[in-house]
Amino acid sequence: MGFISSYVVYLVAFLGLYIQVFFFVIFLEKRKELSTKKDKPTIFPSLGIIIPCWNEEATVSKTILSLLDLEYPKDKLKIFVIDDGSTDNTFSAMKVFESNPQVQIYTKENGGKHGALNYALARMDTELVSSIDADTILEKDALQHVVKFFEDKKDAVAVGCTVLIGSPKTFIQKAQSIEYQMFSFSKKMLGLIGGVLVAPGAFSVFKRKVLNEVGGWKHGHSLEDLELTYRIQTSGYKADHCHTAIAHTKGPESLKQLFKQRLRWGFGFLKNTSDYSSTFFNRKLGNFGIFTVPMSVIAYFAVMFIFFYSWERIGAFFYDKIITFNTVGWDNLFMADFNMSWFFVNTQAISFISVLLLGSLALTIFLGRHISDVNKKPHHILWYFIVFSFLQPLWVLKSVYNYFFTKAVAWR
């Protein structure tokens, strides 16, 4: 049994290191495409932004005001705000903007985020459609960047954009801020090889005709953005990623909120991937089918194995020490001369691989910050390691349990 677990550990470590090195090679080969400075678009297509809202009275006004202040021709930009049966004063906050010619306000019975998005889509005639969350603030030039991206990449029909945590306050948000910077790097690398996994609901842009053609948004097990990205690519269209179009979101504030969000993400990922199992190693889908989907599933389940293996090793270590001190006497625990000796340093290959993995993780964070043009010092890295090292395996385990026993997670 020990031989099998050791074999799996080496295999998981190798795959993790292989993926990181693969991304770094892509970065080096494509670095000319990673400039944060881009020319302005020559054409400004009409663009509609949908903000689905459910109990967002505290954030929706600020989001609308930020959209009205974007550097984009006013006559080309429309904002569709949908109250999805809120039980607070969201609709009252929205109505403040009803006299603005750029803003269209709607209210409907609660039907989920996908229903609110489709409600707006049916009333739009713009060339491009963007979906954002009600607590998301776009940088002023974000739309110019993504429109220029569409202009350069004629075959792209769905473009995910960079989402960062803006002004994190709690330690949970600080941990997420580092995670989102890592996402910036990995999502862009996947975009460069045609292997985008998801165009995020917090900020993505689509060609409206294709969006209508594939049927708009679906429930997608409460992860409508992932389901839509799967459906677009399996329908023969291309999804891509624009790293220079940046938005800032709030992120869960508490541990409970984060855990619930990740349970929803995990359950939705597993269910949607199961629904689109035909994507696995599907050569017709290019790197999306050959690399992204299998890699994502393997990485997800690898977290569980590492969790169990780590705790098994920790338990074995303490058990061994208890046996040792029972033999030589517990007095030696306090009387022993603790002199450092390189003889006791673990020189197994897995130790060096682990160091390389940690180094590659740090490099991923740095490169994600670089391509997202993050200038603040990375003060929150410690929070990231504390939160995600201990908690990520727990929500992965619970998500797998929910998947097998079909226990869907509520939105909030």
The strand pairing partners of 237, in sequence order, are none
Mean pLDDT of 4-26: 81
Residue 322 has pLDDT above 80, yes or no: no
Q: Could you please report the per-residue DSSP string of 138-200? A: E-TTHHHHHHHHHHH-TTEEEEEEEEEE-S--SHHHHHHHHHHHHHHHHHHHHHHTT------
The strand pairing partners of 207, in sequence order, are 128
209-232 confidence digits (pLDDT tens): 999 999 999 999 999 999 999 999
pLDDT confidence tier of residue 117, bands split at 50, 70 and 90: very high
Mean pLDDT of 133-155: 96
**Torsion-angle region of residue 221: left (phi > 0), alpha (psi -120 to 50) or beta?**
left
Kind of pairing between the strands at 77-84 and 137-138: unpaired
C-alpha span between 23 and 287 (Å, rounded) = 13
Q: Which of 411, 226, 159, 196 is nearest to 288 (CA)?
A: 196
Mean pLDDT of 115-132: 97
Contact predicate 53/94, CB 8 Å: yes
18-76 confidence digits (pLDDT tens): 888 999 999 999 988 887 667 789 899 999 999 999 999 999 999 999 999 999 999 99
72-108 confidence digits (pLDDT tens): 999 999 999 999 999 999 999 999 999 999 999 999 9
Give the per-residue pLDDT at 10: 75
Mean pLDDT of 239-247: 96
pLDDT confidence tier of residue 299, bands split at 50, 70 and 90: confident
Task: Sketch the domain layout of the chain as residue ranges.
Answer: 1-34+153-328+347-412
11 or 298, which is more confident: 298
Give the per-residue pLDDT at 377: 75
Residue 316 has pLDDT above 50, yes or no: yes
Give the per-residue pLDDT at 227: 98
Give the per-residue pLDDT at 70: 97
Q: Classify burial at 181, counting beta carbons within 10 Å of its beta carbon; exposed 0-12, middle 13-18, buried 19 or more.
A: buried
Considering the chain, what is the average pLDDT of its residues? 88
C-alpha span between 363 and 25 (Å, rounded) = 13
Residue 401 has pLDDT above 50, yes or no: yes
Does residue 352 sit in helix, strand or coil? helix
166-204 confidence digits (pLDDT tens): 989 999 999 999 999 999 999 999 999 999 999 999 999
The strand pairing partners of 79, in sequence order, are 49, 103
Residue 1 has pLDDT above 50, yes or no: no
Lowest-confidence range among 287-296, 329-338, 372-381? Answer: 329-338
